[in-house]
Amino acid sequence: MSELLPIRVRSLGGSISVAINATFASIVTLSFDAYNKAVTPQGTWWSFALILLLSILFVLMFLPETNGRTLEQIQTHFETGKIIVGCLTIRKRISTIPTENLGVRVNKKKLQHNQQMRR
């Protein structure tokens, strides 16, 4: 989660995400027994499997891949609205990012090395 949050709001954003995670974990834990009795054990696990599948699809389609990118590049993408979406297509698109226009300093040798490692 820390890769997706700008430095200026990282501590607050991290705290909020931990609080939301704990809240929903508590809801699932407290309601599991009643839900299990209401829809049978098979229905409970199939509904959890569906939620997991939808979560995986959401991550693959809407969250950017942060591997091989600096924090400044990620932050610039979020601030300008130019977000590379979908970790399935990121590897093809990352080599076409014009680093001169990002407003960040990029180590050209390191960038070339990272691009070669991806091939």
The answer to whether residues 67 and 117 touch, using CB atoms and an 8 Å cutoff, is no
- What per-residue confidence (pLDDT) applies to 44? 94
- What per-residue confidence (pLDDT) applies to 91? 40
- What per-residue confidence (pLDDT) applies to 93? 45
**CA 94, CA 67: separation in Å to the nearest integer?**
10
* Residue 119 DSSP class: -
Q: Is the pTM of this model over 0.75?
A: no
Q: Is the pLDDT of residue 75 over 50?
A: yes
Residue-wise pLDDT tens digits, 27-50: 999 999 999 999 999 999 999 999
- What per-residue confidence (pLDDT) applies to 92? 41
- What per-residue confidence (pLDDT) applies to 10? 85
* Residue 103 DSSP class: T
Residue-wise pLDDT tens digits, 83-96: 454 444 444 444 44
**CA 65, CA 84: separation in Å to the nearest integer?**
8
